[in-house]
Structure formats: structure tokens, C-alpha cells
């Protein structure tokens, strides 16, 4: 069986933020998990000075801002995140941009060597496709981001003839209690999912698995071009929720997805930070190497709600295709 440690980045739909939404995950065979976790913890301690990630979480957006943005202030974070941010800031005071880049390179190469693929769906939240959605454009972007990911994943699992279990960070406390207490069928109905990403993801998962029981009479929120190809055959029928603070592999998924989003954003920015340009240029060979070896697999939408596989993050036409 494969364990799929997932995360997402770019789910903020406020104006003037990143146009990119990425949903992805590391696909790890159960036989590799223990060795992989141990080596990743050693790597994080070596390069980022985080000796115990269960005490201070590897929260990439904060780490990135602390290292790459001068005079970053934790007090600008939400109150619930300030303590973790301040702890990170103290630990990272001796960590340089070069250390961060070295960690990123080492991480990508190690995962490649361990034959642990990263699967990523890339969504442009500004695409016309989402503006026409029968719920709303935010739900459309979330739904297609997740749908494309599990579609790629099911193809991979089919090639291995193995089952897969999704493991995701638990954000259930952000769902209003009156909705959280409802039976699943009602919880994921159109009127209740409203931009709650966990409920959108659950809805898409059960739509993809409904061929087993035909029990959900919903209008599909992430229809694909090929109905039967888009059914999921190898995923276990639920998402295993965990606290990412206790899962190094979920934290590492968060790290890589955030970095890949920064790669895409740097192509869109006319004046990216010099240090960010340095990061992008440095990891370019590692990412390309992983793509060539099918260790980074990318899915995107086209105008017919289809999935395109294997388009490089460095493809000159990338912006038009997402």
C-alpha cells in the first residue's frame, strides 16, 4: 500500500495574492516510511537547525519569510500563529539563504533517490473555467485542484496495482460546528461546502468513489472530459486526518509545494527578490532532473476540462496552460 502525504498552497482567494493554487503530495510505499522519516528529520536538523519538529512545526511560509524577507515581523501573523513564528525566528537566526537552498536541493535529490514521487496539480485561479462554475469560482478552483491530483494518483496506483491512503492536515476545527455535526451526505451538499476547502475535497473524493454505491445524488463539482477515466479505483474510501505538527512527511509536502509555487510566481513577477531568483536558479536543475525521471508529476487543466500530464514547471508556455 502507498501512503500519500498531502497538502495545498495558494488557497487564499483575496485580491492581489498568488494566482496559483497547488494541491499535491508525496507518494510513499509503506515499507519506506520509517527510514524516510528518520532521514528527513536529520536533514531538517542539519540545514534548518530544527532539532525537534514536533515542538516547532516546519511551517514553510513563515520560514520562507523569516529567511528571505528583511525585517520580517511575527507580530503581523495571526495571533494563533505568533508563538510558533517567534520560536522559528529564534531558531532560524543563524540560518542563511544558502542553507535554505542547500536544504531544498538535498531534499529533492534524496526523494528522487528514494523513488518517492511528488504529484502536483496546478490551478490558475483566474482561469475563465472557474468563473462559469455552478457553485462559485473559489469552489471550482479547489475542486479541480484536488480532482486532478487524485486522478493522477489513481493512474499511478493502477500502474502499481496497489491501494493508496490519503493523509492530510486536520482543519476540521475551521468548519462551523453546526455543519461539522451533520451527517456526511448533508455536510458535503452544495449549500454547506461554501469555500470550506476540507468539505470541497471530501465532496470531490466521494464523487470519485460513488461508482461503488451510487448513494450521492449531487451535481458533480469537478466534472472531467472522460467520465469513466475520472473514477477512482485504488484510493481507500476516506482521508486520514492528522495534525501536521506530528507528521514530518506532511510538513515536507508543504515545503516542496510552497517552493514550487514560488517558482511559478517568480516567472510572473517582473521584479522578484534577488534571493528568490537565487533559489529558483539553484533548484532548477534538481526539479528538471526529477521531472525527467517522473519523480515530479504535474497535472493542469485545459479548456475542455481535461488533464495534461508531465508539463514542466519551466515550460515557456506554462502560464497559458494553467
Task: Name which of 28-37, 130-139, 245-254, 277-286 the model is least confident about.
Answer: 277-286
Dist. CA 74–CA 81, nearest whole Å: 8
Q: Give 321's pLDDT tier (boundaries 50, 70, 90).
A: very low
Whether 234 shows a pLDDT value over 80: the answer reads yes
Of the candidates 57, 11, 36, which has an alpha carbon nearest to the alpha carbon of residue 258? Answer: 11
User: What is the b/e burial string over 78-100, where b = at least 16 CB atoms within 10 angstroms of the residue's CB?
Assistant: eeebeebbebbbebbeebebebb
State the helix-helix crossing angle for 274-292 and 248-268, rounded to 10 degrees.
Answer: 110
Grid coordinates 467520465 are at which residue? 227
Q: What are 107-121's pLDDT values in tens digits?
A: 988 998 899 998 999
Of the candidates 227, 163, 117, which has an alpha carbon nearest to the alpha carbon of residue 2? Answer: 163
Kindly state the percentage of the chain with pLDDT values over 90.
30
- Phi, psi (degrees; rounded to nearest 5) at 119: -110, 130
- CB-based contacts of 316: which residues, under 8 Å, 6+ apart? none
- CB-based contacts of 119: which residues, under 8 Å, 6+ apart? 24, 25, 27, 149, 152, 153, 156, 297, 299
Dist. CA 192–CA 194, nearest whole Å: 6
Dist. CA 257–CA 108, nearest whole Å: 12
Q: What is the mean pLDDT of residues 129-149?
A: 88
Task: Name which of 56-60, 201-205, 206-210, 225-229 the model is least confident about.
Answer: 56-60
Q: What are 144-194's pLDDT values in tens digits?
A: 999 989 998 999 999 999 999 999 998 877 888 888 888 888 888 888 887
Grid coordinates 532539532 are at which residue? 51
pLDDT on residue 147: 92
pLDDT on residue 131: 84
Q: What is the mean pLDDT of residues 243-268?
A: 86
Q: Give 84's pLDDT tier (boundaries 50, 70, 90).
A: confident
Dist. CA 122–CA 21, nearest whole Å: 6
Kindly state the percentage of the chain with pLDDT values over 70.
86
Q: What is the CA radius of gyration of the chain?
A: 19
Domain count, the chain: 1
- Phi, psi (degrees; rounded to nearest 5) at 26: -85, 135
Dist. CA 86–CA 72, nearest whole Å: 11
**What is the four-CA torsion angle of 197, 203, 207, 212, rounded to 10 degrees?**
130
Q: What is the mean pLDDT of residues 100-108?
A: 90
Q: What is the mean pLDDT of residues 83-88?
A: 81
The β-bridge partners of 205 are none
- Phi, psi (degrees; rounded to nearest 5) at 309: -110, 145
> Around 156, how many Cα atoms within 13 Å sit in the side-chain half-sphere?
32
With contact defined as beta carbons under 8 Å apart, do 277 and 296 qualify? no
The pTM score is 0.89
Dist. CA 120–CA 296, nearest whole Å: 7
pLDDT on residue 298: 76
Domain interval for residue 311: 2-321
pLDDT on residue 284: 67
User: What is the b/e burial string over 3-38, where b = at least 16 CB atoms within 10 angstroms of the residue's CB?
Assistant: bbbbbbbbbeeeeeebbbbbbbbbbbeeeeeeebee
Counting Cβ atoms within 10 Å, is residue 60 exposed (0-12), middle (13-18) or buried (19+)?
Answer: buried
- Phi, psi (degrees; rounded to nearest 5) at 263: -60, -45
Amino acid at each position: 500500500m502507498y501512503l500519500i502525504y498531502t497538502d495545498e498552497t495558494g488557497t487564499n482567494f483575496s485580491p492581489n495574492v498568488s494566482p496559483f493554487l497547488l494541491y499535491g503530495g508525496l507518494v510513499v510505499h509503506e515499507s519506506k516510511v520509517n527510514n524516510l522519516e528518520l532521514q528527513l528529520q536529520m536533514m531538517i536538523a542539519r540545514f534548518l537547525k530544527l532539532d525537534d519538529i514536533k515542538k516547532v512545526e516546519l511551517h514553510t511560509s513563515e520560514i520562507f519569510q523569516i529567511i528571505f524577507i528583511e525585517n520580517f515581523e511575527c507580530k503581523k501573523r495571526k495571533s494563533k500563529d505568533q508563538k510558533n513564528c517567534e520560536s522559528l525566528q529564534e531558531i532560524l537566526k543563524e540560518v542563511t539563504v544558502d542553507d535554505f537552498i542547500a536544504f531544498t536541493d538535498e531534499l529533492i535529490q534524496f526523494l528522487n533517490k528514494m523513488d518517492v514521487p511528488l504529484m502536483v496539480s496546478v490551478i490558475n485561479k483566474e482561469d475563465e473555467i472557474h468563473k462559469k462554475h455552478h457553485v462559485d469560482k473559489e469552489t471550482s478552483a479547489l475542486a479541480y485542484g484536488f480532482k486532478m491530483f487524485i486522478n493522477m494518483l489513481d493512474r499511478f496506483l493502477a500502474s502499481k496495482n496497489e491501494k493508496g491512503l490519503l493523509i492530510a492536515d486536520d482543519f476540521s476545527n475551521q468548519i462551523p460546528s453546526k455543519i461539522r455535526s451533520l451527517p456526511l451526505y448533508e455536510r458535503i451538499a452544495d449549500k454547506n461546502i461554501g469555500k470550506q476547502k476540507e468539505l470541497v475535497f471530501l465532496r470531490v473524493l466521494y464523487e470519485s468513489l460513488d461508482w461503488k454505491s451510487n448513494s450521492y445524488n449531487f451535481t458533480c463539482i469537478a466534472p472531467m472530459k472522460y467520465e469513466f477515466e475520472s473514477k477512482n479505483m485504488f484510493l481507500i474510501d476516506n482521508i486520514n486526518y492528522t495534525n501536521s505538527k506530528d507528521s514530518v512527511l506532511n510538513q515536507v509536502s508543504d515545503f516542496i509545494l510552497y517552493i514550487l509555487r514560488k517558482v511559478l510566481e517568480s516567472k510572473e513577477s517582473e521584479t522578484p527578490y534577488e534571493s528568490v531568483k537565487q533559489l529558483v536558479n539553484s533548484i532548477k536543475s534538481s526539479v528538471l532532473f526529477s521531472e525527467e525521471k517522473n519523480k515530479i508529476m504535474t497535472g493542469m487543466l485545459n479548456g475542455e476540462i481535461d488533464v495534461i500530464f508531465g508539463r514542466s514547471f519551466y515550460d515557456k508556455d506554462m502560464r497559458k496552460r494553467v
